[in-house]
């Protein structure tokens, strides 16, 4: 860039504006990272549950509960392993079942006293379709206490949750973009007002509005780029640091995806400083041209 960018002196209020842009970029990077985490979690949930079925067998209400439960489990396993489209059906151990309810009731002797249902994990052959109604009817005939879950309800709810997080993040990004444009527009107009005599002198010397706009827009472009890179860097460090919380004793929240970004996802955050600098450039140019043309 030519020395024309230094004709107008740097505003005293530039530092506060750059701080505001850095904070905006930090928040925007957090929102973008949250959308990436939500999208990854949704894909993981769908891939993990789409090819799975779960059969729950409750203990009988009468007679020898243990013997009746074992008989129903064996009957259900025989039916499931013989069903078309099923690759494998296996009983989940008591230890794994207790681990599933641990987030709600904790680790104590109370678990042993609760008559927990037995769970059967069913894996579907990739690309195959299982006749859920027919399989449910067969299970009910052989094991009246059996309940078949194809996870469609869970997948729909989890996908809706991920979509809510993702679109909320996009909405936040739009709000931040609007706030950034407003801040740059205000700063540009204030700067032109403060340097009114310099702008008038340039005009009298024959400078076109586009020349004055180029001087101002490059200043705001570079300032916004540096500030946004700083804010995005802090957000990236925060996301990467979240992945190491477990190593210092901070336990992950059950059923929530990891709140850290992968190294391969970090480059997506560079979209924030790129967009921020372009918004600052366009806003400064439009603001300068509108003000200068209105005056002259």
Task: Give a yes or no: residue 139 inside a domain.
Answer: yes
Do 73 and 35 reside in the same domain of the chain? no
State the SS3 of 126-169: CCCCCCHHHHHHHHHHHCCCEEEECCHHHHHHHHHHHHHHHHHH
Task: Give a yes or no: residue 221 inside a domain.
Answer: yes
Do 285 and 174 reside in the same domain of the chain? yes
For residue 278, what is the enclosing H or E element? helix 271-295
Do 106 and 166 reside in the same domain of the chain? no
Do 75 and 198 reside in the same domain of the chain? no
Task: Give a yes or no: residue 150 inside a domain.
Answer: no
CB 150 within 8 A of CB 131: no
Q: Which residues of 263-278 are buried (b: 16+ CB within 10 A; e: fewer)?
A: eebbeebeebbebbbe
- Per the structure, the count of domains in the chain is 2
What are the phi and psi torsion angles at 251 (to 5°)? -80, 145
Do 21 and 126 reside in the same domain of the chain? no
pTM of the model: 0.72
Among the listed residues 6, 38, 32, 288, the one whose alpha carbon sits nearest the alpha carbon of residue 160: 38
Domain termination site, one of 144, 165, 181: 144
Task: Give a yes or no: residue 52 inside a domain.
Answer: no
Do 162 and 139 reside in the same domain of the chain? no
Task: Give a yes or no: residue 54 inside a domain.
Answer: no
Domain termination site, one of 144, 171, 206: 144
85: left (phi over 0), alpha (psi -120 to 50) or beta: left
Domain termination site, one of 100, 124, 144: 144
Task: Give a yes or no: residue 51 inside a domain.
Answer: no
Q: Containing domain of residue 287, as a range? A: 3-46+155-295
The span from the CA of 282 to the CA of 178, in Å, is 12
Sequential pLDDT tens for the chain (296 residues)? 444 444 455 555 456 888 999 999 999 999 999 999 888 888 877 776 777 888 988 877 766 667 778 888 888 899 999 888 888 899 988 788 777 777 666 666 555 566 678 899 998 888 788 888 899 899 888 888 888 888 877 788 888 888 898 899 999 999 999 999 999 988 888 877 766 666 666 666 766 667 767 777 888 899 999 999 999 999 999 988 876 665 555 555 555 667 788 888 899 999 999 999 999 999 988 888 887 776 66
Do 65 and 139 reside in the same domain of the chain? yes
Do 162 and 32 reside in the same domain of the chain? yes
Encoding tokens for residue 22?
A: 């850095």
Give Cα 99 distance to the centre of its chain.
Answer: 27
């Amino acid at each position: 860039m030519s020395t024309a960018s230094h004709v107008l002196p740097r505003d005293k209020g530039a530092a506060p504006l750059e701080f505001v842009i850095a904070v905006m970029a930090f928040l925007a990077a957090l929102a973008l990272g949250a959308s990436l985490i939500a999208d990854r979690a949704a894909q993981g949930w769908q891939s993990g549950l789409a090819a799975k079925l779960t059969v729950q067998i409750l203990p009988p209400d009468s007679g020898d509960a243990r013997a009746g439960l074992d008989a129903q489990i064996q009957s259900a396993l025989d039916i499931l392993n013989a069903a078309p489209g099923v690759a494998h059906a296996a009983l989940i151990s008591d230890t794994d079942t207790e681990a599933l309810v641990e987030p709600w009731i904790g680790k104590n002797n109370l678990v042993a006293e609760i008559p927990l249902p037995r769970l059967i994990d069913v894996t579907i052959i990739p690309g195959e379709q299982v006749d859920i109604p027919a399989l449910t009817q067969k299970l009910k005939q052989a094991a009246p206490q059996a309940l078949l879950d194809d996870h469609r309800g869970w997948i729909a709810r989890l996908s809706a949750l991920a979509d809510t997080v993702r679109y909320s993040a996009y909405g936040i990004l739009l709000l931040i973009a609007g706030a950034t444009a407003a801040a740059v527009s205000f700063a540009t107009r204030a700067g032109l007002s403060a340097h009114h005599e310099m702008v008038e002198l340039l005009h009298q010397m024959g400078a076109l509005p586009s020349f004055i706009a180029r001087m101002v827009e490059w200043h705001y472009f570079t300032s916004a780029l540096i500030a946004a890179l700083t804010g995005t860097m802090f957000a990236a460090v925060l996301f990467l640091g979240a992945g190491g919380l477990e190593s210092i004793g901070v336990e992950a929240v059950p059923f929530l995806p990891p709140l850290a970004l992968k190294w391969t996802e970090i480059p997506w955050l560079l979209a924030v400083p790129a967009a921020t600098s372009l918004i600052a450039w366009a806003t400064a140019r439009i603001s300068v041209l509108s003000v200068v043309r209105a005056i002259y």
